[in-house]
Amino acid sequence: MSEYYGDIKLDDSLNMYFNTTDAEGAPVAPSAPFVAGDFEFFKDGAIATITGTPVVYATPQVGLHIITIDTSVDTDFTTASEWLVVVADGTVETVDGQVVDNIIIGSFSIENRTPASDAGALLTNVGLVSTGLDLVLVSSTFVAALIAGVWDRVLSGATHNIATSAGRRLRQVEASFVITSGTAQAGGAASITLASGESATNDIFQGDRVVITEGTGIGEHGIVTTYNGTTKVCTMSQNWVIQPDSSSVYELSPADVDIETWQHTAVTTSATSALPEVDTKSISDDTQAADNLEAMMDGILLITVNDASATTTAFATDGFTEATDNIFKGRLMTFLTGANQFEQTDITNYDASGGTQGSQEFTVTALTSAPANDVIAMVH
């Protein structure tokens, strides 16, 4: 079912959103950017021919698309009408190799679903100052104005502080999720300068999450590692994909568990696996135990059998570098994979340059079977 974007006033604009993803659901870009002409309009069930350019298209990040529809550009946009927006038939762009024409983006109506009310006539020229609405109501817009006034009402402790009231509860809920919000002054590759009125306390936002809710970088988020109360600069744990600027509206909220940081310090990741690096300083508060474990692990060598014709007593290997003959003689070898898994034997010879079986040849006490190519063993 397509999304209904609401009943708007004639000559207003609205934004519609859609995503493009691959077969696994990951965001992808179309084969070429969409253009305004790729979108088709249906008015009250029939194709509408719109003159002018009613659509402005934008793609703030990969896989996210926004179309802004301006209903003031053409007389075909009228009140009491229902509209459907689709990707036009014959659109040349593809997504993940698939044709995307005739896909429904969404629907809206123009002054066709808000009921009129004669009750407004009784309240003409009455301002609801006591409730803070401060609206002058006319009969044809009574219900719409009342609804808009309620939803646009500013919640404050001064006027909505009755215990267990809906207004107070809403403020409490917001306080649990939003610490502060505002419009950024600027942004850097891995920083954002908050509004000038934000806290002057250094690191007050350390560990919190910044979410860009409007403007440049909308949808981006990251963890604050440091905050300068004088400059209002938050340093982030990672670089932004889209660098925020003075148009970026942000919210700060308490961060959930995130391995990007540990005690407000960015986690270092391995250059080869991208997994967090671990530096164990002690075991059960014993630093010597950690040093002993490190020394023991440094003395263990993992090798890979590189010999399709290996025998039970000799085979070539790779996965390491060692040019000294017989350096492993007298040590043990334990197989970790393959049919010989858990089998252990002793090393009787090591030929670095290569023996009968090939380079880096090990000679061992006979195994129960010849190890297969690519199995892994541990020398210790």
What is the structure's pLDDT at 232?
Answer: 97
Cβ-count burial 157-193 (b if 16+ within 10 Å, e if not): eeebeeeeeeeeeebeeeeeeebbbbebbebbebbbb
CA-based nearest residue to 194, from 205, 202, 186 = 186
**pTM of the shown model:** 0.35
The model's pLDDT over 103-161, given as tens digits with 9 standing for 90+, comes to 899 999 999 985 544 444 444 444 444 444 444 444 445 666 667 666 777 766 667 77
pLDDT above 90 covers a percentage of the chain that reads: 54
- Tell me how far apart the alpha carbons of residues 148 and 313 are, in angstroms, rounded to a whole number: 85
What is the structure's pLDDT at 137?
Answer: 44
- Tell me how far apart the alpha carbons of residues 52 and 62 are, in angstroms, rounded to a whole number: 28
CA-based nearest residue to 225, from 263, 252, 199, 276 = 263
Token readout for 155 is: 């919640």
In contact, 365 and 335? CB cutoff 8 Å: no
The winner for highest mean pLDDT among 226-230, 262-266, 351-355 is 226-230
Q: What separation in angstroms does the CA of 9 have from each of 267, 289, 349?
A: 51, 73, 88
Rg (CA), the chain: 34
Architecture of domain 4-110 in this structure:
Sandwich (2.60)
Domain coordinates in residue numbering, the chain = 4-110, 119-151, 179-265, 301-379
| Confidence band for 220, pLDDT divided at 50, 70 and 90 | very high
Q: Give the residue with greater pLDDT, 224 vs 175.
A: 224
What is the structure's pLDDT at 114?
Answer: 57
Tokens 């999720």 belong to which residue? 177
Q: What separation in angstroms does the CA of 117 have from each of 122, 129, 146, 290, 328?
A: 10, 21, 11, 78, 94
Q: What separation in angstroms does the CA of 312 have from each of 40, 287, 327, 364?
A: 73, 42, 21, 8
Averaged pLDDT, 264-279: 70
Cβ-based burial of 212 (10 A; exposed 0-12, middle 13-18, buried ≥19): buried
